[in-house]
Structure formats: structure tokens, C-alpha cells
Amino acid sequence: MRVFSDYCRDLVAQAREQLQGGPKAALPSPMARLEYYLVSLALAFAGESPHRGCFLTKVTVDRAGEDEEVAQTARRAFDDLAGVLAGAIRDAQDAGEVADHVDSSALGYLLLSVIRGIDSIAKADVDATTLEQAARSAVALIPRAEPPRAEV
């Protein structure tokens, strides 16, 4: 459990580091960071040989139904990951990239579901191009903010 808990904590910390902006952010646009994050995960899952997948996904599938402590740890990790993704959506809303009416929490869980799905299908040796397109398509479905109208 200690190894699983540490893994989950590190996974959330890595997501937060990659998705949060700041003066040292490699990509200044929240949407660009979000797309880069999803695509990099898709390519990492595709590039594994053998396709082991994410430890969080594997342990959740294998043990959460039988072990309450595993289920709680996984749930906390999923909530935290979805929260980090929701934070990236809120950052994009603040930057005028995503429509204000979007429910960032719901979208955070949707993107988390896409990531977990990509992880799962990568194990079946789905090609990297398909996984990358799935990640990019998920980002493309996010409702964008209306561009500001020119003053007349």
C-alpha cells in the first residue's frame, strides 16, 4: 500500500507540475499545456514495451473491488487528478481560451476518463497515431470561448 500510495501522490504531483502555469512554464497557454499533457501520456502509453500501463489503473482494476484501502487510495488519486485537470480548464477559462459556461469539474473527470481509456487500449497494442489522435480529439471537443468582437 505504501508503494501504491507513493505512486499515486507522485502521479498527481507530476500532472500538477506539467499543467500549472507560472513564470517557468514551457508552454504559456493553458490549452497548449493541456493538449501537450494528454498527447505525451498517449505517446508514453503507446511507446511502452511491453505495454504495462499505469500502475494506478492496473491496481484499481485488479484490487479496488476487493480491498477498501486500495479503493480509497485510488479514488483519492482520481479525484486529485481530475481536480488538476479541472484547474487547467479554469486556467484556460481565465485566459479566455475556454467558454465560461463549461463545468471544469465535469470536464476534468471526462479528460481523466479519456486518459485512463487510452492507457487501457494501449495495452492491446493500438498504434501511437490512433492514441495521439484520441488525445487531440478530446482536447478539440472542449468548448472554446468566443473571440472578442472588434469595436466599430
Residue 24 has pLDDT above 70, yes or no: no
Domain 2-140: top CATH class:
mainly alpha
Tell me the per-residue pLDDT of 8-22, one tens digit each, with 9 for 90 and over.
Answer: 999 999 999 999 866
Average pLDDT, the chain: 92
- Cell 507530476, located at residue: 14
For the chain, what are the domain ranges?
2-140
